[in-house]
A and B are shown apart, each in its own frame.
Chain A
Amino acid sequence: SQQGEEDPQALSIQEGENATMNCSYKTSINNLQWYRQNSGRGLVHLILIRSNEREKHSGRLRVTLDTSKKSSSLLITASRAADTASYFCATGPNSGNTPLVFGKGTRLSVIA
């Protein structure tokens, strides 16, 4: 069963706008990760936030984590057409040797 659930399922925005995706999870976690999947490709790791962190930045990406609410958000600023992809959150109880549990993903479309 999915641990993380992304919201919304689909999002369509204009180029230059910001895109926000949310993820909720059910059990205690060690870290939460976000991945991107372009159509027909494998998943690519974007960013990892540990349970003792509240916010993390990487380029145009900003991730927040609220462990009290068991939720995370991914913000993509100044979106580009190349950001069109599906985005997944993934959670795991330990680091590096146990499976990640993935949500169903948010499908982002950035219109030029």
Chain B
Amino acid sequence: NAGVTQTPKFQVLKTGQSMTLQCAQDMNHNSMYWYRQDPGMGLRLIYYSASEGTTDKGEVPNGYNVSRLNKREFSLRLESAAPSQTSVYFCASSTPSTPQFTFGSGTRLTVV
């Protein structure tokens, strides 16, 4: 099925550990995004990539890095996880001809 695939779906980390969240889309979309969702806060943009080879910070980039590996893949890395990064992370993609976003099913991350 065409869409956005996120891995893993669940993860528990200890404070200070690192991990990479993976995202891949097979719709040939140009732009990809990482959001986090916390209770009562809606979705907040972490980083985005308007096109292959470019990345830009969003509203809450501190503690995260991203890599646009190719047109399909956009990964989010936590170098040293903190309890404040406990959240649900969503990847999304879009393209100018289809401005509506397609979202992945999310990664639920807990940092203890």
Q: Which residues of A contact B (CB under 8 A)?
A: 1-2, 30-31, 33, 35, 40-45, 48, 88, 90, 92, 95-105
User: Beyond A43-B101, A45-B102, A97-B30, is A102–B96 a contact (Cβ under 8 Å)?
Assistant: no
B43 close to A (CB within 8 Å) = yes
Q: How far is B42's CA from A23's CA once the two chains are assembled, in angstroms?
A: 13
Distance in Å: Cβ of A7 to nearest Cβ of chain B: 13
Q: Which residues of B contact A (CB under 8 A)?
A: 4, 30-31, 33, 35, 40-43, 45, 48, 50-51, 58-59, 90, 92, 94-106
- 19 extra interface residue pairs, beta carbon distance < 8 Å, beyond A88-B42, A105-B42: A30-B99, A40-B106, A41-B106, A42-B90, A42-B104, A42-B105, A42-B106, A43-B101, A44-B103, A45-B102, A95-B99, A96-B31, A96-B96, A96-B97, A96-B98, A97-B31, A97-B51, A97-B95, A104-B41
Decide if the interface of chain B is mainly helix, strand, loop or mixed. strand
Task: Decide: A41 and B105 in contact? CB cutoff 8 A.
Answer: yes
- Cβ contact of A102, chosen from B43, B95, B104, cutoff 8 A: B43
